[in-house]
Amino acid sequence: MSMYPETRPRRMRRDDFSRRLMREHQLTTDDLIYPVFVTEGEQQREAVGSMPGVERVSLDLLLEVAQDCVNLGIPVMALFPVIDPALKTPDGIEAANPDGLIPRVVRALKARFPELGIMTDVALDPYTSHGQDGVLDDDGYVLNDETVAILVQQALTQAAAGVDIVAPSDMMDGRIGAVRHALETHGHIYTRIMAYSAKYASAFYGPFRDAVGSAANLGKGNKMTYQMDPSNTDEALREVGLDIAEGADMVMVKPGMPYLDVVRRVKDEFRFPTYAYQVSGEYAMLKAAAQNGWLDHDKVMMESLLAFKRAGADGILTYFARDAARLLRK
């Protein structure tokens, strides 16, 4: 009688062929959505200090980025605007300007690259003088229904410009239903809605707020009266359930890596197209460690993205999208 186990899980791990044969989850380029920051002007290229490798670029240079995404087979690019501070107002109404930065960029991208999916953020924070995602009452509280009315105008403006996916990231109540109803009644029946359904009031968004230039406006303010408390997961399921009932085509959990438990619960509960956002702070911490030589850049990047697949995500918004797609091609 052997004193050793007859069940040896290491047998299947011994060789590359059997490791490949029992692999359960795989990341592909089809899983990637690439977020980009776009600014006014021509030949404008500014590095985002807290996000190594990420730049704010003007439309002419963004066309080259889009071409690269097409070449790499990345299905979707997500646009975030850097708005001229002179255009920011308390109600952020520039968000609904049909000749504003985002509609112009959407029209140019769709004309040049019709096959590349384009997604736009529906939220007021890049446009408000106070950096909040909505309009405020006298006490500084973000008003729900007044904000939704502007978000609907913003989404309609983006849809009219030809965007493929609108992505409300504001966390107002009822906004998915309001946007869906407006899209339907204006004939935009193919515009998809990616709902930022379970979006947490997270400190991991810091570098993004630097990138779009809303950090200074927001100051010491926070978004806890509309974004979710990091303590909760049942609440995430209620939010996702509402957004699906109101007409979302896809739902999202955000941030990503610290919230993979939420991704798994959402996927198990609803079996609906589910996405996760590996946000700016997650990107920044991996980049910083890699730059210091503390972590292997490519390995942690791929491992972190695979973790989203394991948690049940159908796709990932990630600033690593082009780097990962390049590696996947090899």
Tell me which residues are annotated as active site.
Answer: 199, 254
Find residue 192's DSSP bridge partners. 165
Q: Which residues, 6 or more positions from 238, have their beta carbon under 8 angstroms from its beta carbon? A: none
Q: Does 209 bind ligand PBG (CB under 6 A)?
A: yes
CA-wise closest residue to 175 among 143, 203, 201, 200: 143
Contact 157, 100 (CB under 8 A): yes
Q: Where are the beta strands (DSSP E) in the chain?
A: 32-39, 45-47, 55-58, 76-81, 117-122, 165-168, 192-199, 250-254, 274-278, 315-318
> What's the min distance (Å) between Cβ of 66 and ligand PBG?
19
Stretch that binds ligand PBG, among 8-16, 92-100, 117-125, 147-155 (CB under 6 A): 117-125
* Residues of this chain, 224-283, that bind ligand PBG according to CB under 6 A: 279-280
Minimum separation from the CB atom of position 108 to ligand PBG (A): 22
**Number of residues this chain uses to bind ligand PBG (CB under 6 A):** 12
Q: Which part of the chain contacts ligand PBG (CB under 6 A), choosing from 120-128, 136-144, 266-274, 304-312?
A: 120-128
Cα separation of 200 and 265, whole Å?
15
| Interface map 164-203 toward ligand PBG (x if CB under 6 A) | -----xx---------------------------------
Residue 280 CB, shortest distance to ligand PBG, in Å, is 3
Query: Residue-wise over 255-281: b if at least 16 C-beta within 10 A, else e?
Result: bbbebbebbbbbbeebebbbbbbbbbb
Nearer to ligand PBG, 121 or 243 (CB): 121
Give 200's DSSP letter. B
Question: Given the rule CB under 6 A, which residues bind ligand PBG?
Answer: 121, 123, 125, 133, 169-170, 205, 208-209, 223, 279-280
